[in-house]
Amino acid sequence: MLSVHIHAVRLMALASLLCFMGCKPDPLEVPLTYDGTNFEVNTADYSEAKTNLVALTDLMKQGRTQGKVVSYVKLDSAFSAGSSFPLASITTTYYKDRIAGNEGWLSQLAAASGGTFDPALAPAGTGGVYGGYLFDKNGLELEQVIEKGLYAAALYNLGEAAFYSPGYADHLLLLYGGHPDFANSDDATKHDHADVLVAKYAARRDKNDGNGYYTQIGYQFRKLQAALAASDDYQTELFDADAEIKRLWEEALAATIINYCYDAAAKLSSTNPSAADKAAALHSISECVGFVHGWYRANIGANYHKLTDADAIALLDLLHAPAEGTPAVYLFATDPFNEVPRLTQVIDKLTELYAFSATDLEDFKKNWVKEQGR
């Protein structure tokens, strides 16, 4: 607290001096590249958060194998593992309570593993494998709900808590899933430091024309780093860059929800969709659920976070995965004629919320990393 007080006094003194002098500092110079000199050192501890999420996700994915039972004890241990940033300690209270415990999502995932899921029989049984994915008895892929929800409920949440700490720009870049290389690609066969986590989806939504999410976020990271390295004259630029990164983080995921809704709708609306098509659609819808649910009751980024709890409730209801109720996601596979319009409603709601244009919507249909082979 003392250091915070001293910093505040410094700011007030400097502001008074500037007013007295009647001049303003030169505009902040934003470099063309991000300085990654200290990235590995600065993120040594924070990298544990990413490592822990990857380890938990890999363990959950074992349940996709027919007949493979995933231990709840191991899942719960993976959620709590770590010395610096265990997932359980950096996740919002609400989402942590949904994930952990005897009745939580990890417990339900473990119960579904080893079985077989058939949407036509849902919601009977405990769930199981269908089309290469593990679903609970309601047709919800809990692996995706947990992993994708933690992008906001854990990683973004930790980024908020880390604000203005030494090495903050590097911390946030790692939690975003990027690297000082800024590959703008999640293709690990072409890049030593391919994008992961949120950065992966920002890259997929970026046409690489200089105006996309990934490019904009990259600029704001360079601006943030420059402002942190400069004097206290550039506090406004620092806060602006941080807010823009987090605003674009959220918006890139909203664009990805739209991409998945288009994809799921196309598969379910085809003539006689196969079991693989239906499973892939339920998989995409479950990712959407995770992307949305992670923001619910998070109380993070209030100054620049657009998706309110009311918005999340409305979207989750449309996806048949109510925030506080029993899911019925299987209905998308068993009654596509009547249920697919809900996906269009999700697109419409996000379009209104984020003021997406018709051109944006067309662009969101594509994975630009694959389209451009980058």
Long-range contacts of 71-74 (CB under 8 A, 24+ apart): 71/110, 72/106, 72/107, 72/110, 72/111
What pLDDT is attached to residue 23?
A: 56
What is d(CA 149, CA 146) in angstroms, rounded to the nearest whole number? 5
Q: How far is CA 76 from the centre of its chain?
A: 21
What pLDDT is attached to residue 25?
A: 73
What pLDDT is attached to residue 113?
A: 98
C-alpha closest to that of 220 among 202, 199, 238:
238
Q: Which 3 state secondary structure label does DSSP give 36?
A: coil
For residue 84, give every residue at least 6 positions away whose Cβ sits within 8 Å of its Cβ, in sequence order, or none: 45, 46, 48, 49
Let me know the angle formed at the C-alpha of 307 by 303 and 311, rounded to the nearest 5 degrees.
140
Q: Which 3 state secondary structure label does DSSP give 325?
A: coil
What is d(CA 74, CA 110) in angstroms, rounded to the nearest whole number? 10
Indicate whether 17 pLDDT > 50: no
Concatenated DSSP letters of 81-119: --SS--HHHHS-HHHHHHHSSTTSHHHHHHHHTTSB--G
How many angstroms separate the Cα of 71 from the Cα of each of 95, 121, 244? 21, 25, 41
Indicate whether 199 pLDDT > 50: yes
What pLDDT is attached to residue 60?
A: 98
Indicate whether 187 pLDDT > 60: yes
pLDDT band at 102 (very low <50, low <70, confident <90, very high): confident
What pLDDT is attached to residue 299?
A: 80
Position 226, amino acid = A
C-alpha closest to that of 223 among 209, 205, 243:
243
Q: What is the pLDDT of residues 253-303, one digit of tens each?
A: 999 999 999 999 999 999 999 999 999 999 999 999 999 999 999 987 666
What's the distance, Cα to Cα, between the start and end of the chain in Å? 47
Span 228-249, average pLDDT? 93
What pLDDT is attached to residue 301?
A: 62
Indicate whether 1 pLDDT > 80: no
pLDDT band at 21 (very low <50, low <70, confident <90, very high): very low
